Amino acid sequence: MIRFLIRRIGQSLVLLVLVSMIGFALLHLTPGGPLSQFALTPGMSAATLAQISHAMGLDRPLPIQYLDWAGHLLRGDWGRSYRDQQPVLDIIVSHLWATLELMGSSSLLAIIFGTWVGVLGAIRRYSIADYLATIGAMIGLSIPTFWFGLVMIYIFSVWLGWLPSGDMYASGHASFIDYLRHLILPCLVLTLVTIATWSRYMRASMLDVISQDYIRTARAKGLRRRAVLVRHALRNALLPMITIAGLQLPTLLGGALVTETVFTWPGMGRLFLDSIGYRDYPVVMGLLMFSALLVLIGNLIADLLYSIADPRIRLS
């Protein structure tokens, strides 16, 4: 276990370094590079720029600059926003929870219903329900998320008038019920994407398990079908899904971004779009790095959980 742990964490550290290098490269691609804040200020002379550049250490060799930048990153100094001079990390963390709430609630729905649909598809393979679920999942993956959001707003906000079309709270009365009412639509839209993937992987995993010998043994020794399915098959079929959940994280995060922009949900996606609009590059780059870190850590946790749940993979 210790060796597996060390190897896996080592891999993550290598990835972390590579991710930070990509982030650094992107930062230098921005117009004006790290200097853009000053370069875009009107009336800035080239001489002053050169002076600032020297003061910021931008005339040093790139590897040195990278190490300096990465060191600041590690110490939590992610630069300041152009818009209000707030530290980038603080801004991101203040928007993090809204995104996590959206992702968490829709993942919960997707896992519950996706598991159910996937298991049903596996045990009644090639039935009409299975075909419908497969086709439904494919269409779910094909619908543009933002457009689905617009359609939901049209149906439930404009036409029926049941639910609010955006934001997190109605101005004036901020109650939990009000929050839930605002959460329903974005959560459903994000669930559409997640449930499609989850149910398909669940079906494949379940099919894999129910063709195993120990399932036949369990049936042969006279256990009820339901007991075998739930206690023997489902439990084992859920194991690899831990990894799938980790691998789905970038898609889920991307989906949350899209959903937030349609529903003006005040999370990281909304912040990202606002920052791009203002050319607030420190925040944009910070969000890019932060989301990659989130994915990296999510995958690491998923792998570690999987190795605890299924000791076989540690040995391979």
Partner 1 sequence: MSAAAPLGSALPAPARGARRPALRRFMRHRLAMFGLAAIVILVVACAIGPYLSPYGPLTIDLRHRFQPPFLGPHLLGTDQLGRDLLVRLLLAGRISLTVGFAAMGLSTVFGVIVGLAAGFYGGWAGTALMRFVDAVLCFPQIFLLLTLAALVSPGVLTITLIVALTSWMEVARVVEGQIRSLRERDFAVAAEAIGVSDTHLMLRELLPNVMAPIVVAATLTVARAILLESYASYLGYGIQPPTPSWGNMLNNAQEYLTSAPWLAIVPGIVITLAVTGFNFLGDGLRDALDPRLDIHR
Using the minimum distance from each CB to partner 1, give the nearer residue, 1 or 74.
74
Q: Which amino acid is at 260?
A: E
Give the chain's radius of gyration (CA, Å).
24
| Residue 61 DSSP symbol | -
- What DSSP line would sit under 127-154, residue for residue? SHHHHHHHHHHHHHHHS-HHHHHHHHII
| Residue 37 DSSP symbol | H
d(CA 254, CA 266): 15
Token pair listed for 55:
């003061």
Assess 65 for contact with partner 1 (CB under 8 A).
no
Q: Cβ–Cβ contacts within 10 Å for residue 235, how many?
A: 12
d(CA 43, CA 129): 67
d(CA 60, CA 73): 18
Choosing from 89, 288, 304, 309, the residue that interacts with partner 1 (CB under 8 A) is 288
Assess 272 for contact with partner 1 (CB under 8 A).
yes
Binding window for partner 1 (CB under 8 A); candidates: 13-21, 106-114, 214-222, 228-236: 13-21
The site for partner 1, by CB under 8 A, has a size of 51
Closest distance of CB 144 from partner 1, Å = 5
Choosing from 1, 13, 22, 170, the residue that interacts with partner 1 (CB under 8 A) is 22
- Residue appearing with tokens 């809204």: 98
Assess 70 for contact with partner 1 (CB under 8 A).
no
Closest distance of CB 212 from partner 1, Å = 7
Choosing from 117, 133, 258, 283, the residue that interacts with partner 1 (CB under 8 A) is 258
The footprint of partner 1 (CB under 8 A) covers: 14-15, 18-19, 21-22, 26, 29-31, 135, 138-139, 141-148, 150-151, 153-154, 158, 204, 207-208, 211-212, 250-251, 253-254, 257-258, 261-262, 272-273, 276, 279, 284-285, 287-288, 291-292, 295-296
